[in-house]
Structure 1
Amino acid sequence: MADVRQTGSNIETTIEYTGDINKRRDAATNCRAKVGAVRVLRRDWRRLSGPILSSLPAPEAHHVREFSCGTLYYRTFFVDSKRDALYVGAMDRLYRLNMNNISASHCERDSINLEPSNVAQCVSKGKSEHFDCRNHVRVIQPMGDGSRLYVCGTNAHSPKDWVLYSNLTHLPRHEYVPGIGMGVAKCPYDPADNSTALWVERGNPGSLPALYSGTNAEFTKADTVIFRTDLHNLTTGRREFAFKRTLKYDSKWLDKPNFVGSFDVGDYVLFFFRETAVEYINCGKAVYSRVARVCKRDTGGKNILSQNWATYLKARLNCSIPGEFPFYFNEIQSIYKVPGDDSRFYGVFTTASTGLMGSAICTFTIGDIQKAFEGKFKEQASSSSAWLPVISSKVPEPRPGTCVNDTSSLPDTVLNFIRSHPLMDSAVSHENEKPIYYKRDLFFTRLVVDKVKVDMMGHQLEYTVYYSGTNEGKIHKIVQWNRNGDSQSALLDIFDVTPGEPIQAMAISRMHGSLYAASDRRVLQLRLALCARRYDACVRCARDPYCGWDRDAGVCREYMPGLIQDVANETADICDSSIARKSVSATWGQSLHLGSFVKMPEVLQPRAVTWYHYSREKGRHPITFNKPEKYIETSEHGLLIISVNEADAGRYDCWLGGSLLCSYNITVDTHRCSPPEKSNEYQKIYSNWCHEFEKYKTAMKTWERKQEGEGVKRQSRAIKSHASRTPANDAGTTNLGPDLTTDVPHSAVPRTFTGNFVSFN
């Protein structure tokens, strides 16, 4: 049974075992026989409610851990694996959680208060006191070796930044960091705004560290900006290079962007965002996803673009279902890069909120991004003209947007060109020209990715596992692999992590074997290898790259050589040998339930489940459910056989696509009238009698409803007829005469039972 312990604000969920463990394991086996049709028919076969993580017994004790100090809007994560710390930005607080066990963290001991200033002024501007006018921490970035952190918060719509030690203490006065205090253009005013920021140590002018950000720089949100802070000499405190930013109020550069991420890659910093598509404006309004880049050595132009980027370029990101008329997922919601691997970027995209809802996961290579930035530029000759590619002869030299040692020495022709032509003509194509995964009626909010390497008989296999959070608090787990150069993927599992609460932040740590997710109310830690916790059958266990099926023990374990694993589903019958054929004996007239799942997993619900019967007379033939008096399919795809006889004997196999789920051998006792010898035989006979009685009750209720309906109709007709013949009385009312009754022939009334009976409701 579940044992939930709460100490202060920290909740830890564990599993307490009672009884024999082997019996509990047997009870979780996916194929089982259940006797008694009445109990099956009356059982609630609807899906279980509550978190899907609690649907199966778990051999692991701490598969899910939770941390919460109330509804504090936990929306910013930073993972410091070297210090085993997960930093969480919240409202008025910055937390430092233990990555091994976040439940062991303490609300007061492991946090620092960052209370807002000027709350009254914020409220006077029409903002809410208890949300808008608080300090929501939106930027947490490591500085140097990670011993210090750069932190920025909304501070009651007056952004403010700090530098803290990694143990969440303030720096002494003599360690003052120049340029710190005012957070405008570094993090947003509004806690509801999307923003991004990145602390970059190397590659900047003078080899000085700097913060790059994408956010709103005004209270009114009129000025959105991609920004780099002033560059200071940290020893002398002197400002060596001035800030750089995008052009102000120029829709060609930025048009109401929503930033989702930024990355330091080589000589450039890349920004990912969605914005109103300026190139589509003549055809209506549309939102496109973008990737923009700036050179880290950019110091602006000498006379033109002196305070602005001289290397700023942007291109559209194409995430679409291919076809003659591609279906586009235009709005990027989240972007992820595996630490240490700059070759790929993984993003989740959605359709416009005003149309058909759908989400997709697409990947982009750094090579394809560079190819787009090396391609043609796009321009609009006049406000009424179409956007067209710029011919090569009009592009000045050196090529606009490339890194040079000193951008202030660039010719005015180059600076003027990039000022009016920041948009590239070609979109960045997604890898394999198709999404990794897509689904309608789904809204992805966050994404993290893990690379899993498996040693399969001396061969190193690599799989990419995607964890994508939704606005309903679920996490979709998808695996991708390559087969003969073709990318393929499959949905492995769906976790109901924060039911009804959108996933606001996600992080993953291979070192700690954990996935971290946050809603506005709590932070959760999940094991990556939830093998026995999630899978009770080989057919699902073998497809998870973290897991393998132990044929001898009949359980799913964390993968090691020797266990059954087939992520790519290359061998359809790999699990057949692990399926135990169950023998079930039935008496003539008894009803049987053959189960396929303890609970039908959500990921398998779209797939076809088929039952087959092997008999001497007919051989192998599929079970059809067009005869409910004989076969009934339960909501969990189990098989209910009504009133078995000699013809029902034989083998019954349940298949999920090309994989065998379970198998039963049914034998039927042909001695129909032999007296029962054991108590369970009496129970079977009693169960069958109850089934017949339930059928009688159903028929009786159906007849009563019909008779009641006919009686009402006849009464209504009689009243109308009588009223038309009867004059009004002295009181001005109509005399309806005696009560009307319906005569029912005695033969039409079913016989009734008297005395006590058992109702299976």
Structure 2
Amino acid sequence: MDLLQSVFKDHVREFSCGNLYYRTFFMDSKRDALYVGAMDRLFRLNMNNVTATHCDRDSINLEPSNVAQCVSKGKSEHFDCRNHIRVIQPMGDGSRLYVCGTNAHSPKDWVLYSNLTHLPRHEYVPGIGMGVAKCPYDPADNSTALWVERGNPGSLPALYSGTNAEFTKADTVIFRTDLHNLTTGRREFSFKRTLKYDSKWLDKPNFVGSFDVGEYVLFFFRETAVEYINCGKAVYSRVARVCKRDTGGKNILSQNWATYLKARLNCSIPGEFPFYFNEIQSIYKVPGDDSRFYGVFTTASTGLMGSAICTFTIGDIQKAFEGKFKEQATSSSAWLPVINEGKIHKIVQWTRNGDSQSALLDIFDVTPGEPIQAMALSRVHGSLYAASDKRVLQLRLALCARRYDACVRCARDPYCGWDREAAVCREYMPGLIQDVANETADICDSSISRKSVSATWGQSLHLGSFVKMPEVLQPRAVSWYHYSRDKGRHPITFNKPEKYIETSEHGLLIISIYSNWCHEFEKYKTAMKTWERKQEQCARQNDSNQNTHPNEIVLN
């Protein structure tokens, strides 16, 4: 059995009702529910145990209409012309959900109770029924949507979205719905949108996320770079901002945003010739923390493949909007392989002396051969939820003893701690060894296994790596340290191959550990010369003796 499968056997739970393209998540921690949008279905999963979810009892069917018309336009009957749920947003206190689906390339929206039942007619929500500009026509298109309760004109709730607003995909839009008085149903403010067919506003964007931050709504996307058009074609990542109280222009821009701004997101490896990750694929913000945004960026698919995770602060984004529209130049990056085969990278981040630092802890291959379509993390349940087109998985965040057998790696995981007495990695609690930011160099010294190795003078010495690492992490570096009375604990560098060599299995080869061999060789040469002089003296004496006649008697 594969090592990862055996590790996850008791720590992964699975939900699937067939190949239904599970691609949209909304996590309701108050109700312990994970809502999953799929093809023709909306599911409510039990967050404690997704396996306990019933396919029929815990779902609602939202079948498409006008399938025949969709097929007549050349679309696939069994995929394109189905109703893929692409937007799930809470309304008010979360007792109602706003839901929008592709509806056979004719977008449609609903308002449902959180228990997945329809509203009675007398609770009809104005403006609901047609989903154009609220969610995409095509289930393969990237889009984003956000229900905003506060800060809008008249303090009325509204949906903000970024999507395609036409079947042909010629019109892409950042949109806010009409604002209605929910009591009377009267429209108080008309919708707002980006200027139609203007590439300076939007140029073939792919939206990846949107957030309600203070007085603004932020949209993250990638698009064709209009400022690069004279040099060829390039894709840049963007962040756009609209003011929630925007009521449009008085004349020409009456239905358009008057506060729309956008700026480039720069995710790159700095240097004389920076290496850019131009295409944002995903964006995340910790709930309740508006200070930082974490984005996954990739290079263009036609070039050298690579990906990075970059962090942007809200302060830097605001400076970009308030300045001369230049790109945000500072970001914190970690170069990682392209994430397209169902692998989850577990990364820890911390701040030291004002600088953001990060480290890769582990890699999980949870959906081999399949890309991950959606993820959500719950601290309350200590679980990570990941969806592919075929299933939804629930993974424990604190694997600990299942993944770490040494203090060095265990202490870096924020969910784990090293038990010094039992010599085992456990789920963290006070009293266990933990050092997420790697601030205490010798914190694990007392837990390191010790072994005596004998070697003769002048012999090279090989030390094998005792740290067991998953196969997916083995290509990454292992750090070696040397303890001495003069320097104490200091890292070994491999820039002197005549002294240290790192083996293919991350072991350490110490070349000629006898440090006084030169001095001993000099002593050997001196002794050799002394012996040679004595030999010469003996030879001369023998020569003098040989000068006597052989018949003479020599008296002693």
TM-score tier by shorter-chain length is 0.7 to 0.9
Cα pair distance change 1:578/1:244, threshold 3 Å: same
Aligned-pair distance for 1:632?
15
Aligned position for 2:4: 53
Aligned-pair distance for 1:570?
3.4
The CA distance in 1 between the partners of 2:391 and 2:549, in whole Å, is 57
Aligned position for 1:751: 547
The answer on whether the counterparts of 2:176 and 2:191 sit within 8 Å (CA) in structure 1 is: yes
Cα pair distance change 1:338/1:607, threshold 3 Å: closer
Aligned position for 1:518: 387
Partner deviation per Cα, 1:695-741 (whole Å, 9 max, x = no partner)? 9999999999999xxxxxxxxxxxxxxxxxxxxxxxxxxxxxxxxxx
Cα pair distance change 1:154/1:587, threshold 3 Å: same
Partner deviation per Cα, 1:436-478 (whole Å, 9 max, x = no partner)? xxxxxxxxxxxxxxxxxxxxxxxxxxxxxxxxxxx11001111
Structure 1 unaligned blocks of 5 or more: 1-51, 57-62, 392-470, 645-685, 708-745
Aligned-pair distance for 1:568?
2.8
Aligned-pair distance for 1:386?
33
Cα pair distance change 1:303/1:752, threshold 3 Å: farther
Aligned-pair distance for 1:483?
2.3
Q: Which is worse superposed, 600-609 or 580-589? A: 580-589
The answer on whether the counterparts of 1:491 and 1:603 sit within 8 Å (CA) in structure 2 is: no
Partner deviation per Cα, 1:33-52 (whole Å, 9 max, x = no partner)? xxxxxxxxxxxxxxxxxxx5
Cα pair distance change 1:559/1:189, threshold 3 Å: same
The answer on whether the counterparts of 2:306 and 2:336 sit within 8 Å (CA) in structure 1 is: no
Cα pair distance change 1:274/1:552, threshold 3 Å: same
Cα pair distance change 1:760/1:172, threshold 3 Å: farther
The CA distance in 1 between the partners of 2:237 and 2:548, in whole Å, is 71
Cα pair distance change 1:334/1:617, threshold 3 Å: closer
The CA distance in 2 between the partners of 1:120 and 1:478, in whole Å, is 47
Cα pair distance change 1:132/1:688, threshold 3 Å: farther
Q: Which is worse superposed, 609-618 or 173-182? A: 609-618
Partner deviation per Cα, 1:84-132 (whole Å, 9 max, x = no partner)? 1100001111010111111111111111011111111111111111111
The CA distance in 2 between the partners of 1:558 and 1:759, in whole Å, is 98
Aligned position for 2:22: 74
The answer on whether the counterparts of 1:381 and 1:387 sit within 8 Å (CA) in structure 2 is: no
The answer on whether the counterparts of 2:320 and 2:326 sit within 8 Å (CA) in structure 1 is: no
The CA distance in 1 between the partners of 2:235 and 2:304, in whole Å, is 15
The CA distance in 2 between the partners of 1:383 and 1:531, in whole Å, is 31
Aligned-pair distance for 1:255?
0.4
Q: Which is worse superposed, 90-99 or 231-240? A: 231-240
Aligned-pair distance for 1:150?
0.2
The answer on whether the counterparts of 2:307 and 2:336 sit within 8 Å (CA) in structure 1 is: no
The CA distance in 2 between the partners of 1:182 and 1:546, in whole Å, is 45
Partner deviation per Cα, 1:280-304 (whole Å, 9 max, x = no partner)? 1111111111111111111111211
Aligned-pair distance for 1:487?
2.3
The answer on whether the counterparts of 1:264 and 1:270 sit within 8 Å (CA) in structure 2 is: yes
Aligned-pair distance for 1:317?
0.9
Partner deviation per Cα, 1:622-681 (whole Å, 9 max, x = no partner)? 99999999999998668999999xxxxxxxxxxxxxxxxxxxxxxxxxxxxxxxxxxxxx
Aligned-pair distance for 1:54?
3.0
The CA distance in 1 between the partners of 2:553 and 2:43, in whole Å, is 58
Cα pair distance change 1:694/1:238, threshold 3 Å: farther
Aligned-pair distance for 1:69?
1.0
Aligned-pair distance for 1:600?
3.5
Aligned position for 1:349: 297
State the SS of the aligned residue for 1:188. Answer: coil
Q: Percent identity?
A: 93
Equivalent pairs, count: 545
Aligned-pair distance for 1:364?
1.4
The CA distance in 2 between the partners of 1:112 and 1:757, in whole Å, is 131
Cα pair distance change 1:178/1:639, threshold 3 Å: same
The answer on whether the counterparts of 1:203 and 1:296 sit within 8 Å (CA) in structure 2 is: yes
The answer on whether the counterparts of 1:592 and 1:642 sit within 8 Å (CA) in structure 2 is: yes
Cα pair distance change 1:614/1:548, threshold 3 Å: closer
The answer on whether the counterparts of 1:546 and 1:558 sit within 8 Å (CA) in structure 2 is: yes
State the SS of the aligned residue for 2:425. Answer: strand
Cα pair distance change 1:706/1:604, threshold 3 Å: farther
State the SS of the aligned residue for 1:695. Answer: helix
Cα pair distance change 1:752/1:249, threshold 3 Å: farther
Aligned-pair distance for 1:367?
1.5
Cα pair distance change 1:309/1:356, threshold 3 Å: same
The answer on whether the counterparts of 2:142 and 2:163 sit within 8 Å (CA) in structure 1 is: yes
Aligned position for 2:406: 537
State the SS of the aligned residue for 1:387. Answer: strand
The answer on whether the counterparts of 1:591 and 1:641 sit within 8 Å (CA) in structure 2 is: yes
Aligned-pair distance for 1:206?
1.3
Q: Which is worse superposed, 137-146 or 616-625? A: 616-625
The CA distance in 1 between the partners of 2:231 and 2:146, in whole Å, is 36
Q: Which is worse superposed, 505-514 or 578-587? A: 578-587
Cα pair distance change 1:751/1:359, threshold 3 Å: farther
Partner deviation per Cα, 1:305-325 (whole Å, 9 max, x = no partner)? 011111111111111111222
The answer on whether the counterparts of 2:345 and 2:362 sit within 8 Å (CA) in structure 1 is: yes
Cα pair distance change 1:757/1:616, threshold 3 Å: farther
Cα pair distance change 1:628/1:114, threshold 3 Å: same
Cα pair distance change 1:642/1:571, threshold 3 Å: closer
The CA distance in 2 between the partners of 1:350 and 1:132, in whole Å, is 27
State the SS of the aligned residue for 1:386. Answer: strand
Aligned-pair distance for 1:327?
1.5
Cα pair distance change 1:700/1:751, threshold 3 Å: farther
The CA distance in 2 between the partners of 1:68 and 1:748, in whole Å, is 106
The answer on whether the counterparts of 1:274 and 1:287 sit within 8 Å (CA) in structure 2 is: yes
The answer on whether the counterparts of 1:149 and 1:164 sit within 8 Å (CA) in structure 2 is: yes
Cα pair distance change 1:175/1:282, threshold 3 Å: same
Q: Which is worse superposed, 77-86 or 526-535? A: 526-535
The CA distance in 1 between the partners of 2:197 and 2:150, in whole Å, is 30
Partner deviation per Cα, 1:1-23 (whole Å, 9 max, x = no partner)? xxxxxxxxxxxxxxxxxxxxxxx
The CA distance in 2 between the partners of 1:346 and 1:274, in whole Å, is 15
Structure 2 unaligned blocks of 5 or more: 536-541
Aligned-pair distance for 1:338?
1.1
